[in-house]
Structure 1
Amino acid sequence: MRPPLRIAILECDTPLPDADSRYNGYGGVFTALLKSSAKTLNQSDRFDSEIDLQISRWDIMNGIEYPKLEDVDAVLLSGSRYNSYEDVPWINRLVEFTQSVLAQDRVRLLGICFGHQIVARALGTKVCPSDQGWEIAVCDVDLTPEGKELFGRNKLRIQQVHQDIVYECPPGVTLLGSSPRCAVQGMYSRRRFITVQGHPEFNEEIEDEIIKHLTEEGVLSETQAQEALSRVGNEYDGVFIGATFLKFLTED
């Protein structure tokens, strides 16, 4: 696939107030990531992020309209505060739409956190709460040999905010990496999809707001919050991961 690259971002939630006012939804958060990532590509892969990235946004929580596959080249499923395994109409519609993307061989798929889990569910794999608890802030992901080949390094550092996990890698799908709290940190199928459990689109400010919100809501203890906040500003590979996504979407 060569530019222009038409990417449909499916917004599966709304950011917390500070991030929402800064980026105008998760579509804005991902647009910022993808444009920053495009600028880091090698000259042979470079394309104009203002012209060759044609991004559309779809509020699939509050609406029932989805992009037509003939009008896009890629679909990105965002994260969400909701549980990907819930039996509710909008999540069930999303699973069905994801299955329709997986059933064809042109439009490629990116799944982030909740989106990663939705792809797994669409493939018939169990998604459930982890018995290891929350994984939050910048964490290391140990890559498999296939993950090392795809990303070109031995591990990834990525912002995390999740308690739910993909229980096991679906048959015929390549496992990209794991961490002590999550065995399936990413999945890959050549020319079909890449998913990651973490949040390459999150920066320190977004993550900080989430951690403080979860603490105020009583979801995290003060001890958990302080430990997470001590790592939230660590170096992470978000833009690098975004560049890998763009290479995947444009490779022949």
Structure 2
Amino acid sequence: MPPIRLAILEADTPVPKTHAKYSGYLGVFTHLFTRALSDSPHPLSSILQITGHDIVQNPDSSYPSLDSIDAILITGSKHNSFDNDYWILKLVEYTRKALLHPRVKAIGVCFGHQIIGRALGCLVDRSDKGWELSVTETQLTDAGKKFFGRDTLKIQQMHRDQVYSHPANSLLLASTEKCPNQGFLIPGRCITIQGHPEFTEEIMQEILELRHGTGLFTDEMFENATSRNGDDHDGVFVTKAFIKFLQEPVEEKEL
């Protein structure tokens, strides 16, 4: 079986030290998928053929033809998924086309989760409960328990926006007190997660320190988030579930 052709749609540039280490979100997610396959007898290249696409700087030329790929993964971003900047509208349009394609699957992470929700007609906006930061336990729904095979997931969080509903034909996967929609699934078509499985302790700490330094995060927010930061979370476990999802047959669904 040939490798799955996965296009990483890079919706932002990582913070400076992270960017220098990984050379963009393509590198961050390649590192994540490599760790998720560390116990596999097969190398990453035989399972996934990963390409990166800068959709912010090059919105008119960076998108791959949907006929040339098997799946997209939309990354997180500092930008607002509900804004109407040209590149964001272009992304929503492309995502909608991908979701309607008979073969292409979609994965959404944080901003990407929100973009997929928006493309499917859901309201995306600021949360009135503020920021959700650092390693946080999410409660899985019955569908989430069935999909992941456990009752809860701990995942890195870095958001203050949310998808206020989930598509009518989708399964809600998880919730927290601050964010009722922590991800949803349309079997064989798309899966989303509000958290950041790709964030290591090092990546999260750099973001916390930068945003605390600018005054965006108060001392209390920074100290609380730092106290919960670490690599004791389920990011790699979630990514293994992503791979399993990508390997499953595409299902015909009305979107």
- Please indicate the TM-score interval, normalised by the length of the shorter structure: over 0.9
Q: Residue 20 of structure 2 aligns to a residue in which SS?
A: helix
CA distance in 1, matches of 2:77, 2:89: 14
Contact kept, 8 Å, 1:3 with 1:47, in 2: the verdict is: no
Q: Structure 2 unaligned runs (5+)?
A: 250-255
1:195 aligns with 2:199: no
Q: Structure 1 unaligned runs (5+)?
A: none
1:86 aligns with 2:83: yes
CA distance in 1, matches of 2:42, 2:72: 19
Contact kept, 8 Å, 1:105 with 1:192, in 2: the verdict is: no
Query: 1:72 corresponds to which residue?
Result: 69
Query: 1:175 corresponds to which residue?
Result: 172
CA distance in 2, matches of 1:243, 1:234: 16
Q: Can you list the C-alpha shifts for 1:186-233, whole angstroms capped at 9, x where unaligned?
A: 010011000000000000000000011111111110110000000001
Query: 1:47 corresponds to which residue?
Result: 42
Query: 1:222 corresponds to which residue?
Result: 219
Query: 1:20 corresponds to which residue?
Result: 19
User: What does 1:196-215 correspond to in 2, within 5 Å?
Assistant: 196-215=193-212
User: What does 1:74-223 correspond to in 2, within 5 Å?
Assistant: 74-223=71-220
1:59 aligns with 2:58: no
Q: Residue 228 of structure 2 aligns to a residue in which SS?
A: coil
Give, as a single letter, the amino acid of the residue that structure 1 aligns with 2:37.
Answer: A
Residues 150 and 3 of structure 1: CA distance in aligned 2, closer, same or farther (over 3 Å):
farther
Q: What RMSD in Å do the two structures reach over aligned CA positions?
A: 1.1
The CA deviation at 1:140 is 0.5
Q: Residue 184 of structure 1 aligns to a residue in which SS?
A: coil
Contact kept, 8 Å, 2:200 with 2:231, in 1: the verdict is: no
Q: Paired residues, what number? A: 247
State which drifts further: 77-86 or 100-109: 100-109
CA distance in 2, matches of 1:241, 1:50: 20
Give, as a single letter, the amino acid of the residue that structure 1 aligns with 2:35.
Answer: S
State which drifts further: 195-204 or 169-178: 169-178
Q: Residue 75 of structure 1 aligns to a residue in which SS?
A: strand
Contact kept, 8 Å, 2:3 with 2:45, in 1: the verdict is: no
Identity rate of aligned residues, in percent? 45
Q: Residue 171 of structure 1 aligns to a residue in which SS?
A: coil
Residues 48 and 3 of structure 1: CA distance in aligned 2, closer, same or farther (over 3 Å):
farther
The normalised TM-score by structure 1 is 0.95
CA distance in 2, matches of 1:143, 1:123: 22
CA distance in 2, matches of 1:67, 1:234: 33
Residues 40 and 142 of structure 1: CA distance in aligned 2, closer, same or farther (over 3 Å):
farther
Moved over 6 A (4+): none
CA distance in 1, matches of 2:104, 2:167: 20
Q: Residue 51 of structure 1 aligns to a residue in which SS?
A: helix
Contact kept, 8 Å, 1:11 with 1:61, in 2: the verdict is: yes
The normalised TM-score by structure 2 is 0.94
Q: Relative contact order: is structure 1 or structure 2 higher (C-alpha 8 Å, sep ≥ 6)?
A: 1
The CA deviation at 1:50 is 3.0
Query: 1:247 corresponds to which residue?
Result: 244
Contact kept, 8 Å, 1:3 with 1:250, in 2: the verdict is: no
Contact kept, 8 Å, 2:106 with 2:191, in 1: the verdict is: yes
State which drifts further: 103-112 or 89-98: 103-112
The CA deviation at 1:234 is 5.5
